[in-house]
Amino acid sequence: MYNNGTTHDIIPVGEMVKPLRILISSNSAWASTGYGVLCKGLAYGLKDMGHTVAVHGWYGLQGGVINAGGILTYPRLRHSFGGDTAVVANHFQADIVISIQDVWILPDDFADTLPCPWAAWVTIDGYPLPKPIGERMKSCRYPVAYSKFGLQMMEEYGIENAQYIPLGLSNDYYPELEKRDELRRQLGVNDDTFVVTMVAANKGYPSRKSYPEAIAGFARFHEKHPNSMLYLHTDIKAGDGLELLDICTACGLDHTAVKWTNQDSYLLGMDGEFMRQLYQASDVLLNPAKSEGFGLPIVEAQACGTPVITNHHSAMPEVTRLGWCLKPLQQEYNPLGQWFSVASIEDIAAALEDIYKNPPSEQRRMQTSYDLIAEYNWQNVLRQWQEKVLTPLAELKQPVNEVAYAD
């Protein structure tokens, strides 16, 4: 079996259900992005349960169909933004299409063109629910939010059949607090350096991940604590984002105060072992984003025992267990028709100061890690997909086989 480090042991036991032919449509299949991680975890998890799974990677893949560890991967054909999904679903003879992508960019008639039911695992990161998302979800057989905030927004919009299934946490993430000093040395970090890490895509302007505010907040903190360092795990150059090093310079930070992941390695994708080491070598993960549909790095860092600083908006309060959730300074309206929230530079600096002086105890770090792993592990997530979506669908067909889980 192709092991991508995302699933837990799953064996066929229990209630008889029919294995399904499942097509996952993702706009970044196999990429080291949030959507790519979800696509891999769900695809291989469902395959291990006994389902037949294919992926339509309609963004980032071209050419013929490839076989990736027993999963057929279809490329984009003629159209972007899901325009080819119906063709692929027909070719694969799918029983269901599960989309992992921004649904507002899909064609208006996406559900009507499909030859089978559609389940959308959708990110909702602002309020109220924008009409382009809400109307598509009303046409979806199985609308699934991956945060409780998202579920609330769908219910308030009047989507009566909405479900909640959280994102899956890879088994790469767990606490190794006793190895922290060793890991810091491997990353070239001195023992007395206070490491503030950001793990967030550098895309769009204004920055949804609040890079200017975060860097400015760190700069104020750094004035008091010159032994601190900002580590940027992202694309530091402006493609469709910001020139982050220019922002650092404008905030008075020199090259000794900022470090970043090797850019070629970042673009090729870092494995879970590197990310676990990065989180555990850090003193805090800084993510005061204006919005998050879930915030997977927030959960990953805490699962490694590292505290976080986030923004009190959208899904972030529900996943922030070990750290600081900042009260937003102001609201920001985005083109989709929803509100985001902006944290203040002063509050970011103050939160860094607080965690510098009052770090959480080892006991609290370990307990938070265990709680998050128990709640968000992939076996739990896959169980919910089976019970809430796949079993109800399979019961509409003739049951011929068995797919279930180990307790």
Is the Cα dihedral 259, 294, 166, 360 positive or negative? positive
Q: Give pLDDT, residue 16.
A: 46
Mean pLDDT along residues 43-64: 83
Look at residue 4 in the predicted model and tell me its pLDDT.
Answer: 40
Residue 94: closest CA among 136, 151, 55: 55
Among 88, 352, 50, 111, residue whose Cα is nearest residue 213: 352
Is 0.95 topped by the overall pTM? no
Q: What is the pLDDT of residue 14?
A: 41
Which of 122, 13, 102, 1 is closest to 53 using CA atoms?
Answer: 1
280 shares a domain with 223 = yes
Q: Examine the domain organization and report whether 141 and 222 are in the same domain.
A: no
Phi/psi for 176 (5° steps) reads: -135, 60
pLDDT, position 272:
83
- Whether 405 is in a domain gets the answer no
- Phi, psi angle pair for 70, to nearest 5°: 90, 5
> Are 265 and 299 contained in the same domain?
yes
Q: What 3 state SS string does 130-176 have?
A: CHHHHHHHHCCCEEEECCHHHHHHHHHHCCCCCEECCCCECCCCCCC
**160 and 203 part of one domain:** no
Domain-located, residue 400: no
Instruction: Give the CATH number, domain containing residue 229.
Output: 3.40.50.2000
226-283 pLDDT, tens digit each: 999 999 999 888 677 889 999 999 999 998 899 998 888 887 777 888 899 999 999 9
pLDDT at residue 294 greater than cutoff 80? yes
> Are 110 and 194 in a shared domain?
no
Asked if residue 226 has a cis previous peptide bond (ω within 30° of 0), the answer is: no
106-139 burial by CB neighbour count: b if 16+ within 10 A, else e? beeebbeebebbbbbbbbbbbbebbebbbbbbbe
The model's confidence at residue 60, banded by pLDDT at 50, 70 and 90, is low
pLDDT at 36 over 70: yes
- Residue 277 and residue 232 share a domain: yes
Instruction: Report whether pLDDT(402) > 90.
Output: no
pLDDT for 158 equals 96
Same domain? For 191 and 129 the reply is no
pLDDT for position 144? 97
Distance CA 325, CA 344 (A): 12
pLDDT on residue 2:
28
pLDDT of residue 66: 74
Considering the domain boundaries, does residue 80 fall inside one?
yes
Residues 216 and 244 both lie in one domain: yes
- State what percent of residues in the chain have pLDDT above 90: 62
Which pLDDT belongs to residue 30?
A: 67
Instruction: Return d(Cα 298, Cα 360) in angstroms, integer.
Output: 16
Answer with the residue of higher pLDDT: 110 or 69: 110
pLDDT digits (tens, 9 = 90+) for 180-230: 888 888 878 888 899 999 998 888 777 889 999 999 999 999 999 999 999
pLDDT, position 6: 46
Are residue 381 and residue 300 in the same domain, yes or no? no
Distance CA 319, CA 339 (A): 20
Residue 231, C-beta contacts closer than 8 angstroms, at least 6 positions apart: 195, 196, 197, 198, 258, 259, 260, 261, 278, 282
Structural domain including 149 reads 21-168+377-394
- What pLDDT digit, counting tens, does each position of 311-365 carry? 999 999 999 999 999 998 888 888 888 889 999 999 999 999 999 999 999 999 9
pLDDT given at position 401: 41
Domains held by the chain: number: 2
- In whole angstroms, what is the distance from residue 184 CA to residue 202 CA? 25
Tell whether the model's pLDDT for residue 11 goes beyond 60: no
- Specify if 12 maps to a domain: no
- 399 has pLDDT over 90: no
Asked whether residue 8 is domain-assigned, the answer is no
Q: Is 10 contained in some domain?
A: no
Same domain, 224 and 261: yes
104 and 192 both lie in a single domain? no
Q: Is 297 helix (H, G, I), strand (E, B) or coil?
A: helix
Average of per-residue pLDDT values in the chain: 87
Residue position matching structure tokens 């991940």: 209
User: Is 106 a member of any domain?
Assistant: yes
pLDDT for residue 120: 96
Does residue 385 sit in the same domain as residue 255? no
Q: Residue 402: inside a domain, yes or no? A: no
